[in-house]
Amino acid sequence: MDQSQEGLLSPNDPEREPDRFRRSYEARESSDLESDIDATEFLQSDPLTAEKGTNSLAFQSQPRSRWLQRPCGCCVGRSRKCIYSCLAVLVLVWIALGAGGFFAYKKYKQSPPDGQSPPWYPTPKGGTARGWAHSYRKASEMVAKMTLPEKVNVTTGTGWMMGPAVGNTGPAVNVGFPALYLQDGPLGIRFADNATAFPAGVTVGATWSKDLMYKWGNAHAIEARKKGINAILGPCIGPLGRMPAGGRNWEGFGADPYLQGIAGAESIKGIQDEGVMATIKHLVANEQEHFRQPWEWGLPNAVSSNIDDRTLHELYMWPFGDAVKAGVASVMCSYNQINNSYACGNSKLLNGILKDEMGFQGFVMSDWLAQRSGVATALAGLDMTMPGDGLFWQDGKSLWGSELTKSILNGSVPLDRLNDMVTRIVAAWYQMGQDDKSRFDPDGPNFSSWTNDEYGVESPGSSTEQEKVRVNEYVNVMGNHSALARQIAAEGTILLKNEGILPIDRHGNTDMKLRKKHEGKVRIGIFGEDAGPGQGPNACKDRGCNQGTLGSGWGSGAVEFPYLISPIEVLDDGWDKEKVELNSWLTNSPPFEKQPEILENQDICIVFANADSGEGFLSWGSVGGDRPDLLLQKGGDDLIVAVAKGCGGGKGDTIVVVHAVGPVIMESWIDLPGVKAVLLAMLPGQESGNALGDVMFGDVNPSGHLPWTIGKSLDDYGEGAKIMYLPNGVVPQQDFKEGLYIDYRHFDKYNIVPRFEFGYGLSYTSFAFSVPEVTEVKPKSAYPAARPKDFAMPPEYDNSIPNEEEALFPDGFRKLDKYVYPYLDTIDDLVTDGYPYPDGYTDQQPLSGAGGDEGGNPDLWETYVTVSVNATNTGAKPGNLVTQLYMAYPKDITGNESSVDFPVKVLRGFSKDFLERNETKIVEFELSRRDLSYWDVESQNWRMVTEGQYAFMVGTSSRDLDRLVMW
């Protein structure tokens, strides 16, 4: 990013009013989309003359920070003196934070440098790829007929709560283009009734099943289409999972770019095969919730994720490449900064990498209020702003809308850029076949995100009086998706430990013994709040608390549960009551000391515990979005220890069941003699109990595998894996110094023994592999073939600035307060001075050799080598086998100037196959040029190693790899 304009407000952005430095706490309480930024302008003075990255009013009128949202516990119902004391403490904390910012200011002589990414202008136009050519042709015919206000309408949201969905655009009525409706995923349809609460993304990743990844996305899209939604705000592949305690890791598929990429691509295909737009998110490196956006944590700026070029390409952007190759319609840019430029205004990221290098043909939308400027974001490659409001919720002061109209009329934003923005959106609409009115109702959703009542107003965010209409039709779209949800939850359950006790049949017989020691019934005790229904799955808004059994994390990725089958319901009904005596204590604090017989009288104990997290606009207890540690919550570890030591008077067998958003440290209990089995049931969604029962009773052979590593301590993951809980400056700086080494790559590099490695998972049967065979399909070559010429030319339009009169409100137009319109009240105050475009804006950018089509240079996706292996079920039961392929780069390779550092191994393939007893199948993996390459920062291209031998290893986890072959 250049040192002048990137991420700054333009002179054409809404006027700056001091009272906008308020914290809209009421808006925060009523808004819960991708965020609740409630942010202010991070520059009050004119950015063209202000010192870069500074804010002279940053601490003159402080907003209510997250740390000030709760009253001091000591002051509830206490004296005024106590309240003053608490306030004094908070002031001291605030001063300390300010001091941190001051020292950061002193260190940099100002705030950290604004814009450390190189400028990349202008935005590459869409319409060059073969797969989109037909849609762009139709889109260009429609866009050419649009008026200026219609074009602005298509690109700008109407404002928070100004339509039935969480995101609503305006229509282009004269040409027949409808408003678009965008709704949160990725677990289901947020704020909707009669819709499925699917397992979370991390559970889907734990299945390691491409088939289920596709079906998960497809079922979600079927429900969204039937509810009237155009675009699903999912799937999620960012955060990647650099930090195991990250609050939103559970929305993605796992802590490996290859796994994330395949899962994301398969779910995108599933979604878009139904004609619904998928929105891959969040671009990029939004790895923690603390300081993810301005003011949410009391600081005027969001955290900056500082990443080197190679790490950005090989880790964080890798899965986005898979998404673009899969034809994703939309990409959502994130809240945080990348190398000190906001993601939604980073021209190198959006223009250079996404649209040129990766050949992205769809449109870029902002996360909700992640847009930090008007003109600059348009120039940097943003195509749609959501929800349309500017820097505050529901204030009607959009950074685009009428301001974008002005910017076109005065030349601040070239009409050529607006035309491309609109064309990308309309082309995506055609690409999905949404012009078919028999499948997509142009009238939009048949439900309201804002009320459960049948009748309401269309724009409840406006105070203007409106006629009540029918807003909820209560359409049930679930179909038979409960069966799929149950299958995913079961196949995503991971058996971590089993000393012969699982499965337990419905007569209480275990795998290792047949009730020989028991007289009469088998006595089974169930312990832990996580086994029960609690106060119901929807007791807390956006699932923002941990109570009862854990079915999902919290935030905009959560949904309303139509129901949630708790484990106790299924276990209570599952065992033959003539053979099994079942007792339960659905609390994490059973009265063991007063009633030791509770444990002593059990033959088998099943104890449940969990760990929850979510999006940063909500917090629960000490969990402020991100978890404070990797321990089980609500005393879960202590409960397990007590049960394991006391079950059957120390002679019983204990089974541990964990529901969790991410890795949990198990060292206090995993090796206790009484712990015979451990099941990690992830976040299973509405069919939780049924899926768990399927695995425990043996109806389903467990086949889930870890999508991340479980270490023995947080320190095992390295310094880069630790959440920044306290800011290190006014603009928090988070340096990704570990580079490529996250999760299992870090454990491998430093030879750290994990508790359970990445990819690990047990079965009720056993498998064996033959020696793999490698077949060369194409010979090695250092760089991909030359970038091909574009298949098609982007649409061309008349770029003459329209007549100013065209932009005025139509006569007799009835406005809604705070609704975002594209029209102007007057043209008398238009600024006509020349606009100082960003440094580098007129420079001719060389096209990337890594580009050339959707997903990049087509040669990157060509198969260069195949690896095949015979897999055999050698056990006593049929089951699913997850075969994993890892690759090691040739050693001692030298780049242009310095030695190239490679991870010990990287995941490069996986397959899930069902095998009957004694059955053998051939499992084959195709590796592309991209799979075999690394990002060469000197040549700015993907480079294959041509000297030395690649090593390929096949097995069932990242450390169970006893078969190796060279190429």
Catalytic residue among 367, 395, 694, 859: 367
Residue among 331, 334, 346 nearest 380 (CA) = 346
- Residues 571 and 693 sit within 8 Å (Cβ to Cβ): yes
Q: Is 432 helix (H, G, I), strand (E, B) or coil?
A: coil
Half-sphere exposure of 383 (CA within 13 A, CB side): 29
| Sign of the four-CA dihedral 426, 427, 432, 437 | positive
- Strands, E assignment, 71-195: 167-168, 181-184
Crossing angle, helix 257-272 and helix 210-226, to 10 degrees? Answer: 40
Residue among 330, 295, 57, 44 nearest 185 (CA) = 330
Q: Is 789 helix (H, G, I), strand (E, B) or coil?
A: coil
d(CA 519, CA 583): 17
d(CA 634, CA 264): 33
Q: Is 743 a catalytic residue?
A: no
d(CA 58, CA 54): 8
β pairing state of 330-333 and 277-283 = parallel
Residues in CB range of 15: below 8 A, 6 or more apart: none
Q: CB-based burial of residue 56 (10 Å sphere; 0-12 exposed, 13-18 middle, 19+ buried)?
A: exposed
Residue among 52, 88, 118 nearest 353 (CA) = 118
CA distances 542 to 202, 228, 452, 583, Å, are: 18, 22, 15, 32
Half-sphere exposure of 891 (CA within 13 A, CB side): 4
| Sign of the four-CA dihedral 21, 23, 27, 28 | positive
d(CA 1, CA 10): 16
Q: Is 918 left (phi over 0), alpha (psi -120 to 50) or beta?
A: left
**How many CB atoms lie under 10 A from the CB of residue 116?**
17
Q: Is 855 left (phi over 0), alpha (psi -120 to 50) or beta?
A: left
Tokens found for residue 490: 């079961």
CA distances 959 to 377, 739, 741, Å, are: 45, 22, 16
Crossing angle, helix 415-431 and helix 402-409, to 10 degrees? Answer: 130
Known catalytic residues are 367
